[in-house]
Amino acid sequence: MAAADGRGTELGRYLKARRAQVRPQDVGLPAGAGLRRTPGLRREELAALAGVSVDYYIRLERGRETNPSPAVLDALGRALRLRGDGYERLHELAELASGRLSELPACADHTVRDSVLRMLESVRPLPAYVVSRYNHLLAANPPAERLLPGIWDWPERQRNLTRYLFLHPVGRVLYEPWEETVANSVAHLRAVAGADQADPELAALVDELALKSPQFARLWERYDVCERGGGQKTFRHPAVGRMTLTYEVMRLARTGGQRMVVYQAVPGTADEEAMLRLESADARPEPAAAGHPEQAPEARTARPLAPARAG
């Protein structure tokens, strides 16, 4: 029976999106078996691989079956070749559909604690910033402000890093390669959103980006899930040049999903030299664009970029 509140719908969307990503030859089926109107596996093929009836699988995908057993979920996960975050998301959405997941993630808090602002300042000259659960830029130290040229031209409410990647002309050329960066960003946004896909802040961001960027819309529909805890990014910075930096992501407790991101470079390399130049005032062409008063670089400190709001 379908859940009255449609809780199974998101599970169905996920199954359909992931089914489209599996090629028949990936699971030992003939690639050209019959005329395929859509990419990926057919429903009956996935049902057979998972050992469930086609009717049962169709009910799952359409949100009419909301209580799959752990064994069925494991079989579907294997057939869909899910690993890590993708496998965990399948089980999380199934728990939500069945009603076993009673608590959704805490509301995102946009207030940055003073202790976190001091941490941003203490890691200089390393660029560091704080983002909300859905990548809204909340605070940054001066090197991090200069790392993201152009985002400060936008009003505070628009300063979202995913929006910056897709919609700002600088964001579209700052990261190299751009295509890989945006794919990872969307997969991470899917991951941090959890089961609460109807969150108003997330829904507004997704609606805007899907309307303005066909590539975002395609990536969002893929339903790739990958929560990134660190890695490496290459920047083609207009002021300091090309540099490859590693970064670490740290979750901040009791904030509803705030994360602190800190970049660094290998000591003694050209990448480090470029990164250290972000401390200079001339690394950011318009220093007043962030909404801060003009100050000498050594006098400026990390501070919130968003007004304090209740979570």
Give SS3 for 133: coil
* C-alpha separations of 176 from 130, 169, 186, 234 in Å: 22, 14, 16, 5
Same-domain check for residues 14 and 40: yes
Residue 3 domain-assigned (yes or no):
no
Q: At residue 4, does pLDDT exceed 60?
A: no
Q: How many domains does the chain have?
A: 2
The dihedrals phi and psi of 168, each to the nearest 5 degrees, come to: -95, 135
User: Residue 280, Cβ neighbours under 10 Å: how many?
Assistant: 14
86 or 163: which carries more pLDDT confidence?
A: 163
Q: How are beta strands 137-140 and 230-237 bridged, if at all?
A: unpaired
Same-domain check for residues 180 and 36: no
Residue 284 domain-assigned (yes or no):
yes
Q: What is the pLDDT of residues 226-252, one digit of tens each?
A: 877 789 999 999 999 999 999 999 988
Residue 199 domain-assigned (yes or no):
yes
Same-domain check for residues 71 and 125: no
Which residues constitute the domain of residue 93? 8-98
Same-domain check for residues 44 and 119: no
Mean pLDDT computed over 130-142 = 93
Q: At residue 310, does pLDDT exceed 90?
A: no
Same-domain check for residues 53 and 93: yes
The answer to whether the beta carbons of residues 213 and 167 sit under 8 Å apart is yes
CATH number of the domain within which 146 lies:
3.30.450.180
Mean pLDDT computed over 18-33 = 77
Asked which of 98, 122, 147 is the last residue of a domain, the reply is: 98
Secondary structure (H, E, C), 227-245: CCCEEEEEEEECCCEEEEE
Distance of CA 164 to the CA centre of its chain: 13
Same-domain check for residues 137 and 169: yes
Share of the chain above pLDDT 90, in %: 40
Same-domain check for residues 94 and 118: no
Residue 166 has a pLDDT of 96
Same-domain check for residues 120 and 216: yes
CATH number of the domain within which 84 lies:
1.10.260.40
User: Residue 51, Cβ neighbours under 10 Å: how many?
Assistant: 12
Same-domain check for residues 81 and 179: no
- Nearest Cα neighbor of 144 from 235, 47, 16, 253 is 235
Residue 298 domain-assigned (yes or no):
yes
Alpha carbon dihedral 79, 80, 85, 90, in 10-degree steps, equals: -80
Q: At residue 266, does pLDDT exceed 80?
A: yes
Which helix (H) or strand (E) element contains residue 263? strand 259-264
Same-domain check for residues 83 and 118: no
Q: At residue 132, does pLDDT exceed 60?
A: yes
Residue 34 has a pLDDT of 56
